[in-house]
A and B are shown apart, each in its own frame.
Chain A
Amino acid sequence: MSDRRTLQIKQISAHPGPIPGEGVQRDLEVCKLVDTTTCIGCKACEVACVEWNDMPFTPTTFDNTYQTMPETAWSFWNLIKFNEHQREDGTIQWLMRKDQCMHCADPGCLRACPADGAIVQYSNGIVDFNQENCIGCEFCVSGCPFNIPKFNPTTKKVYKCTLCSDRVGQGLEPACIKACPTGCLKFGSKDDMKFIAEERAQQLREHFGYANAGVYDPASIGGTHVIYVLHDATRPELYGGLPKDPQIPWSYTVWKWLAKPVLGTLALFGLLGVCLHYVTVGPRKSQPEPPPRKER
């Protein structure tokens, strides 16, 4: 696989003009499958992520749970979220979800970003940040429905999970997948992962008594390239605040692509207006002004 180019750019933030090499080759969409029902919370993926991406030590916060820290950090892209959920019958269910960038098909971060080339989406579905083009405005933080991009105040750049685009580009699976001991993490084409996920959800519904088991692949943002199998797909919020219906604010859709250019043009009408005023109506002069020239 490594002899094939697997990272063909599909979208570039704030970029005018065509995308280099767009559409010259068909790419398989990749996908990471996280089966929350077989995750044991061992955090091997957290370690693998920090190791592979060569991250510095990130201070952890102890808050009486097993969770490493409250949320992902600029230097900590992969976090297992723990939730002790009390069911109706009083028993406790321990929910663990691997939190990281979802690599949305319609990425809110990319829509929000005003810097040319700071965020790109590859046609295999990976959404990647290029820190050398990032201007540190943090609009992506506001555009993302999953609270993923994290700002580094020292470099003034934003960082997040790359889905190991460097590894995938070489035909390798992401580091977290490689580290997972239970097989709860899988990596492959979107179609294959979707198929396996649906099979597993059906198994959970039919043989394990999880009547609401299902797959999380939210349609509101065109699906994601990280999908979950959940015991209860009707209540994704239980899994460390996974949004049921993730949305991109209209500021980054309607305002940014339609109203901005239109209203900007309207403001320029001020300039046009005064120019027209000068050449038609003309300036107002202090009085008295000399009488107009008489035609003879």
Chain B
Amino acid sequence: MGTAVDRFDDKARGLFDRIGTNDVYQGELLRHRPYTRFLHWMVALFFFLALFSGFGIYLPWLFRWFTPIFGGGALARSMHPWFGVGFCFFFGLQVLNWLEPMLWSKADTEWIRGLKNHVLKPEKLEPTETGFFNAGQKVQFWEITIGSVVFLITGIILWIGAGTFGRITVAVSYVLHDISALVMLFGIFIHMYLSTFGQPGTFHSMTRGSVAESWAWTFHPSWYKQVTGRDPRQAHEEARRQMETGRR
């Protein structure tokens, strides 16, 4: 990545480090710095504002009860594009922030091949090659990146209207805009589940920034090795033995 982007990211991270704090206690590791957390929650906020204000326009006979939240249909319609702009803006910054750990690797392809093991018959420990993000998280990230671009282009066309772009362009854009939202919504359900109930301990990384070491060697072994210098499997084995002796 270009050095200008790196310098920008470093500056922003530094700025937010001065404002925000992390809670990292013994046996924990810092995972997400304040800048990352700030961006993530701004993205989530604008995503849901745009989603809920869009629902009433998407399927009025089912989601009509969403529009009063925004002060009626007309107001929901006029605010929706601005929510979308906010979403794209903050996610754009997040893309720059996360570009490096999100790059695809050979190990990720392997991970996707073994998807069934991760989902249906979860092996207790992630493959040792799994780094800061696993391949599923990377897919989610790139899906949202592509989706945001589709949102932005089709959204601007819908915003400015058929008078400028022609009625067929608008008619097609509106379908693409919908599909983009549906795919993202589908993914977000899975995302919300995995970062809360589905994988306990993950949520804290986005609130106060830290995760337990055991979380790290279980789900992101390669990252664990990188930050602690210890072998993740060995660390797990030691902890297991300790737990057993403690019981006796």
CB distance from A267 to the nearest CB of B (A): 4
| Contact residues on B (Cβ < 8 Å of other chain), bracket | 35 or more
Contact A271 B189, CB 8 Å, known A286-B201, A286-B219: yes
Other-chain residue from A138, A266, A288 in contact with B161 (beta carbon distance below 8 A): A138
Other-chain residue from B61, B187, B240 in contact with A270 (beta carbon distance below 8 A): B187
Nearest chain-B residue to A13 (Cβ)? B60
- The docked-state distance in angstroms from the alpha carbon of A286 to that of B187 is 23
Question: Which residues of A have CB within 8 Å of B188?
Answer: 270
- Interface-facing stretch out of B39-47, B91-99, B116-124, B144-152: B116-124
Other-chain residue from A151, A156, A284, A288 in contact with B122 (beta carbon distance below 8 A): A284
- The docked-state distance in angstroms from the alpha carbon of A114 to that of B239 is 58
Question: Which residues of B have CB within 8 Å of A115?
Answer: 60, 73
Other-chain residue from A114, A134, A273 in contact with B189 (beta carbon distance below 8 A): A273
List the count of A-B residue pairs having beta carbons below 8 Å apart.
145
- Tell me which residues from 248 to 279 in chain A have a Cβ below 8 Å from any Cβ of chain B: 249-252, 255, 260-261, 263-264, 266-267, 269-271, 273-274, 277-278
Other-chain residue from B162, B168, B192 in contact with A138 (beta carbon distance below 8 A): B162
Give a binary string over B63-83; 1 marks a CB under 8 Å from any A CB, 0 the rest. 010000000111011100000
- The docked-state distance in angstroms from the alpha carbon of A2 to that of B73 is 35
Give a binary string over B180-211; 1 marks a CB under 8 Å from any A CB, 0 the rest. 00110111111011100111110000000000
- The docked-state distance in angstroms from the alpha carbon of A134 to that of B74 is 7
- Tell me which residues from 201 to 235 in chain B have a Cβ below 8 Å from any Cβ of chain A: 201, 212, 214-215, 217-219
- Interface-facing stretch out of A57-65, A141-149, A231-239: A141-149
CB distance from B174 to the nearest CB of A (A): 6
Tell whether, in the assembled complex, residue A288 and residue B243 are in contact, meaning their CB atoms are under 8 Å apart.
yes
- The docked-state distance in angstroms from the alpha carbon of A273 to that of B120 is 12
Q: Check A14 for interface membership: any CB of B closer than 8 A.
A: yes
- The docked-state distance in angstroms from the alpha carbon of A14 to that of B77 is 15
Give a binary string over A103-144; 1 marks a CB under 8 Å from any B CB, 0 the rest. 000000000001110000000000000000111111101111
Contact A284 B198, CB 8 Å, known A141-B162, A249-B168, A252-B171: yes
Say whether chain B's binding surface is mostly helix, strand, loop, or mixed. Answer: helix
CB distance from A66 to the nearest CB of B (A): 24
- The docked-state distance in angstroms from the alpha carbon of A27 to that of B201 is 67
- The docked-state distance in angstroms from the alpha carbon of A141 to that of B165 is 11
Question: Which residues of A have CB within 8 Å of B30?
Answer: none
Nearest chain-B residue to A150 (Cβ)? B163
- Choose among A255, A267, A284 the residue with the greatest number of B CB atoms under 10 Å from its CB: A284
Contact A135 B74, CB 8 Å, known A141-B167, A260-B178, A263-B179: yes
A residues in contact (CB < 8 Å) with B? 14-16, 114-116, 133-139, 141-144, 147, 151, 156, 249-252, 255, 260-261, 263-264, 266-267, 269-271, 273-274, 277-278, 281, 283-288, 290
Question: Can you list 19 pairs linking A and B with CB atoms under 8 Å apart?
Answer: A14-B61, A15-B61, A16-B60, A114-B56, A137-B57, A137-B158, A141-B167, A142-B168, A147-B167, A249-B171, A267-B182, A270-B189, A274-B189, A277-B198, A278-B193, A278-B197, A284-B122, A285-B200, A286-B219
The 10 tightest CB contacts between A and B, nearest first, are: A270-B189, A249-B171, A274-B193, A135-B73, A142-B170, A16-B61, A270-B186, A251-B171, A141-B162, A142-B162
Given contacts A133-B73, A141-B162, A264-B182, 4 further A-B contacts (CB under 8 A): A135-B73, A255-B175, A263-B179, A266-B182
